[in-house]
């Protein structure tokens, strides 16, 4: 198993990434950004404090599969090449925020809470604070849409999108579902964003970029919509799932990051 050294505490500079960070402060990066990218499941390694509760049948392969390694690589590279993006990364594995009995046994809740306060809790607070700071910096460009994007990677079932999917909790067209009408991004803007990704990735088929399939929901986009989704300062919240079938060598990661940048350049020109 991979472990994070016991007692390790993370702070904002450890988990936040942006272009030209050696010469630009976070304040400067936020002033030029309109997309906050977050990866809640970026990390595989367990905090060492949780080792007594790790399942004895868990393998290193299982541990790695619980994280979204592709998204982590893409997000870091995207933030490095795109000055309109700021990226925040969860330094703790999913099991800290969402305990999974298949990975961890009956963890002492006090131990788990203490561990989370040094990593996963810092990530959540930082993500929300960065959105708030983006909203405040928008006062100089009040018509600039802001987006909080939760990035994940998933194994796409047969017949599902080959490149990526965008989700706002709606139906396959991005519209509200009658029995659960909350959508976290305006349906028309979501469709424009999907078309921009089709352009940016040069897909051969319209269906290679899909909406709300295989996943339509996400805790982060709901939290963003509930806190920042109303009124003139509303922030769009969208989940983007990359296909795990995409290659992961450095050149391929760089290409995906640059295609994402091109997609958002196209989106900004279409959304106004």
Q: pLDDT tens across 167-178, in order?
A: 999 999 999 999
Q: Are strands 147-154 and 35-39 parallel, antiparallel or unpaired?
A: parallel
For residue 36, what are the β-bridge partners?
Answer: 86, 148
3-state SS, one letter per residue, for 12-24: HHHHEEECCCCCC
Note the pTM of the prediction, 2 decimals. 0.96
Q: Looking at residues 197-208, what average pLDDT do you find?
A: 96
For residue 166, what are the β-bridge partners?
Answer: 211, 240
Pair 162, 243: CB distance under 8 Å: yes
Pair 89, 15: CB distance under 8 Å: yes
43 DSSP assignment = -
Name the nearest CA neighbour of 147 among 84, 230, 74, 237. 237
Please state which of the ranges 7-11, 53-57, 73-77 shows the lowest mean pLDDT.
53-57
* pLDDT for residue 172: 97
* pLDDT for residue 104: 85
Degrees, nearest 5: CA angle 36-89-60: 145
**Token pair 């304040």: residue:** 27
* pLDDT for residue 235: 96
Name the nearest CA neighbour of 90 among 219, 267, 255. 219
87 DSSP assignment = E
* pLDDT for residue 158: 86
Q: pLDDT tens across 177-199, in order?
A: 999 999 999 999 999 999 999 99
Between CA 74 and CA 33 the distance in angstroms is: 18
Does residue 143 or residue 221 have the better pLDDT? 221
Q: CA separation (Å) from 121 to 52, 107, 130, 214, 254?
A: 21, 17, 14, 28, 30
């Amino acid at each position: 198993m991979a472990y994070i050294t016991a007692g390790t505490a993370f702070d904002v500079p450890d988990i936040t990434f942006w272009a030209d960070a050696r010469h630009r402060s976070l304040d400067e990066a936020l002033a030029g950004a309109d997309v906050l990218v977050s990866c809640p499941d970026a990390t595989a390694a367990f905090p060492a404090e949780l080792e007594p509760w790790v399942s004895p049948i868990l393998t290193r392969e299982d541990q790695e599969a619980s994280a979204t390694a592709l998204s982590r690589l893409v997000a870091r590279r995207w933030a490095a090449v795109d000055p309109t993006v700021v990226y925040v990364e969860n330094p703790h594995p999913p099991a800290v925020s969402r305990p999974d009995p298949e990975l961890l046994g009956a963890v002492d809740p006090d131990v788990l809470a203490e561990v989370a306060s040094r990593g996963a809790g810092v990530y959540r607070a930082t993500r929300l604070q960065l959105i708030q700071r983006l909203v405040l910096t928008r006062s100089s460009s009040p018509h600039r849409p802001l987006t909080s994007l939760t990035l994940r990677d998933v194994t796409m079932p047969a017949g599902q999108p080959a490149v990526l999917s965008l989700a706002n909790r709606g139906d396959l067209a991005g519209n509200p579902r009658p029995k659960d009408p909350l959508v976290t991004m305006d349906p028309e803007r979501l469709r424009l964003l999907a078309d921009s990704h089709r352009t940016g990735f040069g897909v051969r088929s319209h269906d290679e970029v899909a909406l709300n399939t295989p996943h339509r929901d996400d805790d982060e986009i709901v939290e963003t919509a509930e806190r920042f989704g109303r009124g003139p300062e509303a922030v769009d919240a969208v989940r983007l799932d990359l296909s795990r079938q995409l290659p992961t060598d450095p050149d391929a990661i760089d290409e995906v990051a640059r295609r994402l940048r091109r997609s958002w350049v196209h989106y900004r020109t279409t959304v106004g």
